[in-house]
Amino acid sequence: MKRIGVFTSGGDSPGMNACIRAVVRTATYHGIEVYGIMRGYSGLMRGEFVKLDSASVSNTVQKGGTILKSARSHSFRTKEGRQQAFDQLVNNGIEGLVAIGGNGTFTGAMIFEQEFGIPTVGAPGTIDNDLYGTDYTIGYDTAVNTALDCVDKIRDTADSHDRCFFIEVMGRDSGYIAIPCAIGGGAEIVMVPETQMSVEAAIETLRSGWQRHKTSFIVIVAEGDVEGNAHHVAAHVKAAIPQLDTRVTVIGHIQRGGSPTAADRLLGSQIGIAAVEGLMNGMKNVMAGIIDRKLVYTPFIDTISKKKPINQSFMRMVEILSV
């Protein structure tokens, strides 16, 4: 393998640049050329390629976002789009790809490989941590710390005013971000998609706290919770316990940005190295991940079809710690 490409696709996450940097420097270290592909599959089809060397990625490890930008592409879902992408790669002599993203990204890469034989190794880049095949995804630790920092700030004002705050965090269909925010943020209640906690149960807990003269509360609501978003939950609670002074904060896209934590820089770096060395060893259609501190390559077919269950003991922790 003489030349590879690297791109980011799907939602950006902090640590993607650490991963890109590791891809570039590992390739350089092994004498392989690297092209950065701008804007994911969209730039791949259009040939938006930039030659990268060691200096190109200096001073990027601490930056949020992705220097290669990201975009969604509808055309790559068509055969014509993929043909176009293939032609661009052939014309530029690119023989393998590192794709940093999530399952949407990997699905595209898998189909592309089946049709055109270009091997891709994936890197799990998403704040949601909902990917099978790795304990943590790149960006997750930063997103949790950012959200927790917001919870800390809100608690200052919740305590000062005897209020009940409903804080909505990201996480798509999982409670991965919500749960450490609840445990680490001293929340009384956490509502996540993985459990059946009803608004009624939340109301019961709040009412009982109120009766014990507890006056300020934090409820963490995961965006994907079946009971609906924080505004919805808050409205139900307010209707049931009108004395509660309720407020809602949706943390939103703040969670996607910011300088990555040490853990995300380290993880991004480990996986970037592994992705390049995986390609060099003939791998394809696999995602590099770290499970129990060991490097593991998991087939895309598994990362796409299998669900990583959340540690159920965490739900028990919230219950014990909010005693």
Instruction: Pick the binder of a second copy from 69, 283, 284, 310 (CB under 8 A).
Output: 69
- Take residue 45 and report the two structure tokens written for it: 């089809």
Q: Which is nearer to a second copy, 21 or 284 (CB)?
A: 21
Which of positions 122-151 make contact with a second copy (CB under 8 A)?
Answer: 135, 141, 144-146, 148, 150
Binding positions for a second copy, 18-37, rule CB under 8 A: 18, 21-22, 25-26, 28-29
Query: Does the annotation place 186 within a ligand binding site?
Result: yes
23 is in an annotated binding site: yes
208 exposed, middle or buried (CB, 10 Å; 0-12, 13-18, 19+)?
exposed
Binding of a second copy at residue 281 (CB under 8 A)?
A: no
What is the smallest separation between the CB atom of 115 and a second copy, expressed in angstroms? 27
Which residues have C-beta within 8 Å of that of residue 182, sequence separation ≥ 6? Answer: 189, 190, 218, 220, 318
Angle between helices 262-280 and 16-29 (to 10 degrees): 40
Residue 212 assigned ligand-binding role: yes
Q: Which residues contact 63 (CB under 8 A, 6 or more apart)?
A: 17, 259
Confirm whether residue 254 is marked as ligand binding: yes
Distances in whole angstroms, Cα of residue 149 to Cα of each of 16, 48, 81, 177, 186: 21, 37, 42, 13, 12
Is the distance from CB of 22 to CB of 273 less than 8 angstroms?
yes
Window of 59-67, 103-111, 194-202, 236-244 that interacts with a second copy by CB under 8 A: 59-67
List binders of a second copy among 239-278 (CB under 8 A): 247-254, 256-263, 265-266, 269-270, 273
Q: Is 58 in the site for a second copy (CB under 8 A)?
A: yes
Size of the site for a second copy (CB under 8 A): 77
Catalytic-labelled residue, pool 12, 53, 87, 128: 128
Query: Which of 233, 223, 229 is closest to 256 using CA atoms?
Result: 223
Write down the least CB distance from residue 211 to a second copy, Å. 16
Binding site for Mg(2+), residues?
A: 103
Residues annotated as catalytic (active site), given as ranges: 128
